[in-house]
Amino acid sequence: MDKSSYNVKMPLDKVRNIGIIAHIDAGKTTTTERLLYFTGQVHKIGEVHEGAATTDFMEQEQERGITIMSAAVTCFWDYNGSRHRINIIDTPGHVDFTAEVERSLRVLDGAVVIFDGRKGVEPQSETVWRQANKYKVPRICFMNKINLIGGSFENSFKTIQDRLSNRAVAVTFPIGKEQQLHGYVDLVKMKAYEYKGVDTPDLNEVEIPEDIKGIVAEHRERLVEMLAEQDDALMEKYFAGEELTLEELYAALRKGTLAGNIYPVLGGDSRTAMSKTLLDYITICLPSPLDKEAVRGVHPKSGEEITREVSEKEPFSSLVFKIVNDPHIGNLSYFRIYSGKIDAGSYVLNSTKGIKERVSRLILMHADEREEVSSLSVGDIGAIVGLKDSITGDTLCDEANPIVLETIDFAEPVVSQAIEPATKSDEEKMSEALGRLVKEDPTFRVSSNVETGQTIISGMGELHLEIIVDRLKREFNVSANVGKPQVAYRETIKNIVEQSEGKYIKQSGGKGQYGHCWLKLEPNEKGKGFEFINAIKGGSVPREYIPSIQKGVEEAMKTGVVAGYPVVDMKVTLYDGSYHEVDSSEAAFKVAGSMAFKDGCRRGTPILLEPVMKVDVETPDSHMGDVTGSLSSKRGQIQGTESLGSGVSRISAFVPLSELFGYTSELRSLTSGRGSASMEPSHYAEVPRNIAEEIAGKKV
C-alpha cells in the first residue's frame, strides 16, 4: 500500500468512520498508533511518552503527553479477502476538551471505547459513553493495559456491565495475567492465539490452556445466547440444540452491535498483535456509512423535514464539525459528507447562515499531513480550504437543493480569566488571534467587561485556558498576561412575577419616544434556557414592535440584578402594553422591554447560581479521612465511596467549582503524591446567601 495516497475510492460498505474515545490515560493514542503500524501506514511506532505519536502533532500535546485536538487518520485493512478503508479520529480524554469528543461523535458512524484494564470504568469513560448514547453511536470496547500490575480483564469487564451496560459481552478472553499476558481466546471462533512480545505482528494458533477452559466456556455460552437473541431463526436453532455456524454468529454480532443491543468487549495489550484482532472486529462489528439511516434535516425556508439517502446520486449535503487555523494556508474546515459529492473550485450553500461559500481546495487529512484531492463524496471525512464564514455545526449543501442538518450542542464555559496584551504591539495581534481561536473552539468565548474595559476569556477549565494562552504565544506570537481564574456565575429568579411594567416616554421638542409593555416573568426548568411568549391580544402592542421588546429583554439578560452576571432559565410572557401613533419606535419598545425585565427580576427573588463539578478522587485508604475532610471543607457533598482493591478507594462528590482552583496540588500534598482527581461540570446550583453577598460585594 502506497502510504502517500489516501484518496483510494472504496465501495461504501468497505468504509469505516470510527472514533477512539476514553478516559484520559487509558491508551487511546497508543492504540491508534498501533493500528497505523499494523496496517502499514507508519513504519516506526511513535510513543506518546516520547512525544512522537502521529496523532499528537501539536507541540503542547507532545510536551504534556495528552491529546488536545482530535486528529483524523486513514488506514487500510484486509479482512476476509477484502480491503477496508478505516478513517480514525483519535479524541482527547481530558474533560476540558470534551467538545472535541462531542463534535467527533456527531459525525462518526462507530466508536472504539478504550478502558484501563487496571481501573475499568473511570469517570470520563462514563461521560464519553453518555455522549455516544446521545448520538446513538454503535461501539466496541477494548480493555487495554491488562498486562500491567493490577490489570484484570474480569474485574474491569464487570465494571462495564455494572456501570455502563449489561449488554456488554466478551468476544475475546486473555491468556495469562499481568506481565505473563501472551495471547487470547477468540470466543466466536473458539480458537486460541498467542504472540511473542510487543510490536510483533505474528499470531500463532495454540490449544486453549486447561486452566481457563471453564471460564472460557462460561463466556462463550453467554455470547452465543446473546447472539441467538438477535434473530428469531437463530433462536429456534439455538433452542433446538443445533450448532450455529461461524457466518451466522458473525452476522448476528454485527446486527446486534449496529442496533445497540450488544457491546462486544476485547481485552489485552494494544501494543501487541492484539491490535490486529481489534482491526478485525472494527470491520466485523462497526457500521459502514451505508448502515446508517438516511440523514434528516429541514428546509431552511419552509421548515419541512427532508431526508437524504446515503448515495453519491443524491444532492450534496455535509456538516462542518471542526475549524482549524493553519499558519500556512489559513482556515481548514473539517467536514463529513452525508450525501452527494463535492468538487474543488465549486460553490456551496451554507444553509445555516444562508450564504454562498467557495470551496477553493479539498484536502484529505492524515494527522498533520495533507493530500490535495479534486473531489470528495458521500461517506468521506475531509477538509476544505478557503471557507470564510462557516463555523462548527454549519450545514454545507447543494444550492439548488438546500437542507439544514441538526447542529452540534456544546456545554457552556465555566471558567473565565481576564487577559491583556503584554505590550502595546501585541494589542492588535491579540484580538485577531482570539477571534481565530473562538472560530476554532466552540467552548471558548471572548467578551469585554464594559465597566473595566478588560478582555475576558472563558473556557471549560484551567487547563483549557492555559493551553489557549500557550497557543497565543506559540502560534500567533502574542505575549499576554492573565488574571486569576474566575467562576462563570449565572443568575435567575425563584418566584413568578405576574406583572412587571416597562414604560419609556421621552418628550423633547420634536418627535418623542413612547414604548410601553407589561411582562410576566417565570423561572424556567433547569437547563431550558430563555423562552419568550407573545400573548398580545387585540393589537395593544403592534406586531412590528414585539421583536424589539424581546431584544430589549435579551440584552437586559446579559447582566443580572444580583451581581451583574448573565440571567438564565427564564420564561417571559408579553401580555399587554400600549403605543403612540406618532412617537412609538422600535428603540423605545426595546428600552421598555429592558426596563420591565429588570424591574421584574428585582421582585422575583433573584438568586446567584454557581457551576458544581462532579469530582472523583482516587486515594490510598490510609488518606481517606484527610481527603473526605478536605472535600467537605470545600462545601463538597460526598456521594459515595467504593473500594477499588489494592488498598485504593474512589470517593465521588459534588463540589462548587469556585472551591476547586489549585485542588490538584492540594490533593498531592494530602496523599503524598499518590492521589488523583478527575472533575467534570455537573450542574448549576444556588449559591448560599452569605457567599452570594460576598460575590456581589466584590463585583460592585
CATH: 3.40.50.300, 1.10.10.10, 2.40.30.10, 4.10.220.20. Which one for 295-405? 2.40.30.10
Please tell me the predicted confidence (pLDDT) of residue 549: 95
170 vs 99: CA distance, rounded Å = 30
Share of the chain above pLDDT 90, in %: 28
Confidence category of residue 90, pLDDT binned at 50, 70, 90: low
Please tell me the predicted confidence (pLDDT) of residue 102: 66
pLDDT of 597 higher than 70: yes
Q: Average the pLDDT over 578-589 and give the result.
A: 90
Cell numbers standing for residue 43: 513504519
In the chain, list all ranges with CATH 2.40.30.10. 295-405
Can you give the C-alpha Rg of the chain in angstroms?
A: 28
Confidence category of residue 292, pLDDT binned at 50, 70, 90: confident
Please tell me the predicted confidence (pLDDT) of residue 60: 44
**Other CB atoms within 10 A of residue 635 CB:** 17
344-348, 367-371, 555-559, 647-651, range with the lowest pLDDT: 367-371
Please tell me the predicted confidence (pLDDT) of residue 449: 67
Quick check: pTM over 0.95?
no
51-65, 306-320, 679-693, range with the lowest pLDDT: 51-65
CATH: 3.30.360.10, 3.40.50.300, 3.30.9.10, 3.40.50.970. Which one for 12-208+257-291? 3.40.50.300
Please tell me the predicted confidence (pLDDT) of residue 98: 57
Higher pLDDT, 72 or 173: 173
Confidence category of residue 516, pLDDT binned at 50, 70, 90: very high
Confidence category of residue 453, pLDDT binned at 50, 70, 90: low
| CATH number 2.60.120.680 given to 491-604 | no
pLDDT of 69 higher than 70: no
- Please report where in the chains the cell 475532610 appears, as a residue: 629
Q: Average the pLDDT over 375-385 and give the result.
A: 86
In the chain, list all ranges with CATH 3.30.70.870. 421-481
Tell me if residue 496 falls in helix, strand or coil. Answer: coil
Cell numbers standing for residue 75: 488506514
pLDDT of 553 higher than 80: yes
**Other CB atoms within 10 A of residue 70 CB:** 25
Please tell me the predicted confidence (pLDDT) of residue 71: 53
Average pLDDT, the chain: 82
Is-contact 387 360, C-beta < 8 A? no
Please tell me the predicted confidence (pLDDT) of residue 49: 39
Please tell me the predicted confidence (pLDDT) of residue 59: 47
pLDDT of 637 higher than 60: yes
Higher pLDDT, 665 or 616: 616
212-216, 303-307, 362-366, range with the lowest pLDDT: 362-366
- The third-level CATH classification (topology) of the domain covering 610-699 is Alpha-Beta Plaits (3.30.70)
Is-contact 64 53, C-beta < 8 A? no
Confidence category of residue 360, pLDDT binned at 50, 70, 90: confident
Of the candidates 80, 55, 79, the residue with the CA atom closest to the CA atom of residue 69: 55
Give the DSSP per-residue string, 30-90: HHHHHHHHHTTS-SSPPPTTTT--SS--SHHHHHHTS--S-EEEEEEEEETTEEEEEEEEE
pLDDT of 223 higher than 90: yes
- Please report where in the chains the cell 436453532 appears, as a residue: 237
Please tell me the predicted confidence (pLDDT) of residue 66: 38
| CATH number 3.90.1210.10 given to 421-481 | no
In the chain, list all ranges with CATH 3.40.50.300. 12-208+257-291
Q: Average the pLDDT over 465-471 and give the result.
A: 82
Q: Average the pLDDT over 122-143 and give the result.
A: 83
* Highest-pLDDT range among 50-59, 120-129, 217-226, 272-281: 217-226
pLDDT of 511 higher than 80: no
423 vs 60: CA distance, rounded Å = 24
Higher pLDDT, 320 or 601: 601
Please tell me the predicted confidence (pLDDT) of residue 140: 92
Is-contact 423 402, C-beta < 8 A? no
82-91, 161-170, 583-592, range with the lowest pLDDT: 82-91
Confidence category of residue 671, pLDDT binned at 50, 70, 90: confident
483 vs 452: CA distance, rounded Å = 13
85-94, 316-325, 494-503, 637-646, range with the lowest pLDDT: 85-94
Of the candidates 449, 344, 419, the residue with the CA atom closest to the CA atom of residue 387: 344
Q: Average the pLDDT over 233-257 and give the result.
A: 90
Q: Average the pLDDT over 294-309 and give the result.
A: 87
